Every structure is written in structure tokens, then in C-alpha cells.
A and B are shown apart, each in its own frame.
Chain A
């Protein structure tokens, strides 16, 4: 029951730039709640990638960046590398559900 919508898949050649959108509604992203992003490699737990819309935790390469403008949110990966092949999820809070919500997830494939 994902409340936030992401494209199922994106792909790019090594070195290229890809973006992943995350679309919500007036009760979550549109209400001004922050968006966070996670990377999930196969058979592992998700890992925090971006917090507070556009902040990188220590150790996350600056190839990853997040942006938020109004109700529009996206994650960008520049200089795509083979190791970036993974599933990516956005996450926020929803006031109508009084709980946390995740995106549908996007699989990034490096061609």
C-alpha cells in the first residue's frame, strides 16, 4: 500500500545521469513533510542515501543528490556506476494516515 509513486525502473550507461521522481499528495509531500531516500542492494537492508530532501549522510558519494520543489521530489545520480545498480525508495510522513509512507520503489539498471 505505497502512497508515494515512483517509476518502476530507470536505466543508464556508465557515466550518465539518471533521475528518479517521487510523487505524493497534499497529505504528505505536498503538506511540506521532508522526503528521504534509501538504496537497497540485493538481499540487504535499505541504507539511508539522502535525508531532509537534499542532505547526504557521511560516506555517501556526492554523485547522489536530492531535490524538492513544492510537491515535486527527485533523486539524481550523476556519473552512474555499476555499483549503483539497486532499488531506490523515497519515504515521507503522511498526516491523513498518521504514519510513515514509502515510495513504490525504482530499480536502477546500469547498461
Chain B
């Protein structure tokens, strides 16, 4: 079945960087965009951006431009999301999710990766 599996929880200090992975299986990796969404504790969902594995292109939400980089490793069907200059406000669960149509819905989602930023 179609599945997205993310890397494990991370604890980082303020000012550091974090890189979260999202490995896809059960489908043609290059045919579907991978989006990243985060959820701060007790808060709602926030869209961060999208990576198109087929073209290797990215679109980032304005508030994350310059601080987030999305990349891929086609040999392992994995997309990465790296965020730098972390602050405590970046403490959140980070989800990856697949979108099929050019403007569509998120399905499935990865299980989520908790990133804690603390000194």
C-alpha cells in the first residue's frame, strides 16, 4: 500500500538546523508531489511548502522562504526537509504528505516527526 515513513524525533538547540526525511513506498515516487505541514503543540496545521520529485522543483510558503530547503534522493525514494536557524517557535510535529493532482488533497500522510528546539 501507499506509505510515507518519516525519520525519528529530534532535539535541537536554538540556532541549529534539523533535517527530516520522508520515504515513500507503494507508488511511483516521481509522479506525486510531497508537501510538508507542521503542527505546533496544541495548534492547527500550517503548510510549509512542496517538493516535486519529478522535476526537482520546490515552492515554499512565504514565511519559510530562505530558512527551509527541500531535496530528494531518487535512489531511495526519499524527500528531505531541512530547516535552519531554529527557535523555540519551531517546536512542532512535522508531517509529510502526498498530493496527486496539481492542486489537490493530502493523502496519505507520514506519521509525523517531533522536532523539539530547546537549550
Spell out A's residues near B (CB within 8 Å).
1-2, 33-34, 36, 38, 45-48, 51-52, 57, 89, 91, 93, 97-105
Contacts and interface: CB of A to CB of B under 8 A. Distances in A.
Interface of B: 35, 37, 44-47, 49-50, 59, 61-63, 95, 103-112
Contacts of B109: 45-47
Contacts of A2: 44, 46
Contact of B47 (A34, A57, A101): A101
**Per DSSP, are chain B's interface residues mostly helix, strand or loop, or mixed?**
strand
Contacts, number: 59
A52 B45 contact: no
A104 B107 contact: no
B106 A48 contact: yes
A103 to B, nearest CB: 7
A105 B106 contact: no
Contacts of B37: 102
A99 B59 contact: yes
